[in-house]
Amino acid sequence: PAPPAGRDAPLVPVLEATRGAAAVLLGGRLGGGAGLVVGSCTAGAARARTAWVSRLLLAFWFYHLRVAEADRAAVGQVGTSATLRRWYAYGLLFLGLAFLLFGARSVLQQVLVLLVDGRQTIVFGGLIPASLATMLTGLGLWGFHFRWTSREPLRSDDRGSTLRAAEGFLVLAGSVALTLVGASQLLYYMLARALGIQHPGGVSDNLLAALAGPGSTVVVFGLAWVWTRRGLAADAGATEAARQAG
Q: Tell me the per-residue pLDDT of 118-139, one tens digit each, with 9 for 90 and over.
A: 665 555 456 778 888 889 989 9
Which of 33, 19, 49 lies closest to 132, judged by CA? 33
- What pLDDT was estimated at residue 103? 94
- What pLDDT was estimated at residue 40? 45
Rounded-to-integer distance, Cα 81 and Cα 76, Å? 9
Rounded-to-integer distance, Cα 41 and Cα 117, Å? 26
- What pLDDT was estimated at residue 222? 97
Rounded-to-integer distance, Cα 93 and Cα 88, Å? 9
Rounded-to-integer distance, Cα 211 and Cα 190, Å? 9
User: Does residue 1 have a pLDDT over 50?
Assistant: no
Confidence of residue 244 (pLDDT cuts 50, 70, 90): low
Q: Quick: pLDDT tens for 194-236.
A: 887 776 666 666 777 788 889 999 999 999 999 999 988 888 8
Contact residues for 239 (Cβ-Cβ < 8 A; gap 6+): 159, 160
Q: Quick: pLDDT tens for 3-58.
A: 444 444 444 554 545 555 555 545 554 554 444 444 444 445 666 666 666 677 67
Mean pLDDT lowest among 1-5, 66-70, 73-77, 107-111: 1-5
Indicate the pTM of the whole model. Answer: 0.74
Average pLDDT over residues 91-103: 93
Contact 108, 219 (CB under 8 A): yes
Please compute Rg for the chain using Cα positions: 22
Mean pLDDT lowest among 8-12, 65-69, 141-145: 8-12
Average pLDDT over residues 156-163: 80
Contact 104, 220 (CB under 8 A): yes
User: Does residue 2 have a pLDDT over 60?
Assistant: no
